[in-house]
Amino acid sequence: MDMIADFLLVQRTVIFESNFAPSAVSKYVVWVLYMQGLLLVAVLVTRVLSTQAIGSGIPEMKTIMRGFEMPGFLNMRTFIATIVGLTLSVGSGIPIGKEGPFVHVACMVSNGLMQLPCFKSIYLNQHHRLAIFSAACAVGVSCNFAAPIGGVMFSIEVTATYFAVSNYWRAFFSAVCGAFLFRLLAVFFTTEYTITAMFTTGFDRFPFDVSEMIAFVFVGVVCGFLGILFIWLHGVVIRFRAWLHIKFPFLQESVVLYPMIICCIVATLQYPGLIGRYMGFPPKVAIDHLFSSDPLDHQDQWDHPNVLVALCVFFSLNFIMTVFAVGLAIPAGVFVPVFLMGATFGRLVGELMLDWFPNGIDVTDPSSIIIPGGYAIVGAAALSGAVTHTVSTSVIVFELTGQIDHILPVMIAVLVANLIAQLSVPSFYESIIQIKNLPYLPDLLTSKQYKLTAQDVMQQVNYFIHPQATYRQVRLILVECVLESVPVVASKETMILVGSISRSALEVLVGDGVQTVPNTLMSTSGGRGYIPLDEESSAAKDAANANMGDDEVVPWWRVKIETAPVQMVAESPVVKVHQMFALMALKHVYITRMGRLVGVISLAALAESIKHPKVSTLKRRRRLSIQEAQARAEGHREGTEDVSNAP
């Protein structure tokens, strides 16, 4: 993939430098058509083969690692669409990254291997299957950057809330093998003579003065706010595109029109003969220049009109182009373009520092000269860390450059940028999860959320199985209940929870032809896991009326009942509930009091209660007041009966 994409990028440069076109206008037209042609094929291949290949792939893998199934996301059609679409998209020069689709490809390969008969037992065991996916995510990142250590850490940060230490060595072993083979093949098939860092630097042994730490912190602060702006603008662009599809339906019908418009604008801005030759640099070439210890004003490509203006223009235009490009209907990552933007901003600060202190901050020490390339490294790590909410970007930078002399500035800038970004917006990948309405579990952030209990967020149980349940009642439950299992109680009177039955077992029991409603667990907008009986849908009534004579009691001895469903007491703190959902990849948990089933918490309900704790507390108080009134009425009734039965 890399070789083909690099070849296509080189051909784009050849188009500009060759003399086959009679004029500058014809060169520009060929330049634009070349980029549009590659992107057009990428869009069509992705559209025809599998739309699951669109986007990064990391948000979806995070959802799968939560225990949810995503049909079609890991099949062969999606694999081919991702490979072809990503190669052509990157080769066209559109400012997108590869790390997300690489993770997706690695997971599809691992999923295909687990389908083989010799590994079928691993695939059938969810715990082992997720462990393999965890290692595959690490391989995808490490092969993209040839950074096994940072790749493992980055994959953990972006795909897992809690990580099993037992999977750590598996991820490292796989990542090291993948990164080694990736760099070894680069030696065999490219001009590289040995296995080295992807972006080598030549800084001095002591590349910065202690006083420069203030400037490095400033880079981290600004990169934090730039990360917030990037994520916010990306959401605005996605919503604007959705508005355009509603306002102009022909845009939605024509899947290529919007990408072609964006590609035309990007190609125009990147045309070397318009703004400057630096605009047409491939990402690797641009990063090599930005990380260089040599001044940029010694290179003719960056002197239009001067280095500072060129860096400002390059950063601003790439920022805008990337916001639009990563939202196109193609396989697209975000790390590389954000990494490039961070390096550009860092280099800009470094060049300014060099102009202000040409002899270094400490003029008495000739070794304390300002090195702008060091600022580029700090900016690259800080901005990419702010957008992805990861600290491992600092380790990736060290492995990419082989440069650890800037370890303190890089770590401080990344931490500062992360602190600012995490307090304001979700990460780029989490924002996509929210946009796509994928199931996710937010972190507990405020002290008020830690004071909530399970009964604050639980939902009333309106559907359950009891020994006297009939076929009609079971069919109604299957139509209206959207959870994957139904609780089983000893009787309607006691409501003692004795187990649960999966939907598949109930469907087999009552036969085919049961109409089911969509699984609202795939939506994070709230929603109830159980729908009350007084809100029956027309489908439920039709299903029940079709079997009006079917009042026979179901033979429950024919059904496999899970006798140990996950349950928690009503007074359990929400923090424990949250940990249970995250650690065990639960989709719902039953809430009991003295063994009696009193409620259920679904993933969507828990997420909604974390995002809106005040609403949940109000509902809880209203529910408790009703329960207390019912308890007092029952107590009064029992007391009356005791008095009447007294001798």
Q: How confident is the model at residue 550 (pLDDT cuts 50, 70, 90)?
A: low
Higher pLDDT, 404 or 631: 404
Length of the chain counted residue by residue? 647
Question: What DSSP string describes 404-459?
Answer: -TTHHHHHHHHHHHHHHHHTTS--HHHHHHHHTT----PPP-SHHHHT-BHHHH-B
Q: Which residues of 433-446 are buried (b: 16+ CB within 10 A; e: fewer)?
A: bbbeebbbbbebee
Q: How confident is the model at residue 341 (pLDDT cuts 50, 70, 90)?
A: very high
Q: How confident is the model at residue 82 (pLDDT cuts 50, 70, 90)?
A: very high
The predicted pLDDT at position 192 comes to 64
Chain centroid, CA 150 distance in Å: 17
pLDDT at 528 over 50: no
pLDDT at 454 over 80: yes
Chain centroid, CA 606 distance in Å: 19
pLDDT at 383 over 90: yes
pLDDT at 63 over 90: no
3-state secondary structure 512-557: CCCCCCCCHHHCCCCCCCCCCHHHCCHHHHHHHHCCCCCCCECCHH
The predicted pLDDT at position 574 comes to 85
Higher pLDDT, 344 or 180: 344
The predicted pLDDT at position 120 comes to 86
The predicted pLDDT at position 614 comes to 58
pLDDT at 547 over 60: no
Inter-CA distances, 295 with 263, 309, 313, 315, Å = 32, 15, 18, 18
Q: Is the pTM of this model over 0.85?
A: no
Q: How confident is the model at residue 316 (pLDDT cuts 50, 70, 90)?
A: very high
pLDDT at 618 over 50: no
Q: How confident is the model at residue 217 (pLDDT cuts 50, 70, 90)?
A: very high
| Residues 175-201, mean pLDDT to the nearest whole number | 74
pLDDT at 367 over 70: no
Q: Which of 58, 52, 103, 40 is nearest to 76 (CA)?
A: 52
**% of the chain beyond a pLDDT of 90:** 25
Higher pLDDT, 453 or 549: 453
The predicted pLDDT at position 514 comes to 44
Higher pLDDT, 558 or 394: 394
Domain span(s) for CATH 1.10.3080.10 in the chain: 2-435
CATH superfamily of 2-435: Clc chloride channel (1.10.3080.10)
| Residues β-bridged to residue 573 | 453
* 30 exposure class (CB count in 10 Å sphere: 0-12, 13-18, 19+): middle
* pLDDT tens sequence across 412-435: 999 999 999 998 889 999 999 888
- Among 124-133, 205-214, 508-517, top mean pLDDT goes to 124-133
The predicted pLDDT at position 44 comes to 93
* 620 exposure class (CB count in 10 Å sphere: 0-12, 13-18, 19+): middle
| Residues 551-561, mean pLDDT to the nearest whole number | 76
- Among 28-42, 220-234, 454-468, top mean pLDDT goes to 220-234
Q: Which of 640, 433, 604 is nearest to 519 (CA)?
A: 604
Domain span(s) for CATH 3.10.580.10 in the chain: 447-613
| Residues 574-580, mean pLDDT to the nearest whole number | 86
Residue-averaged pLDDT of the chain: 80
| Residues 499-507, mean pLDDT to the nearest whole number | 83
Architecture of domain 447-613: Roll (3.10)
| Cα–Cα distance, 86 to 98 (Å, whole number) | 7
**One-letter amino acid for residue 589 of the chain:** V
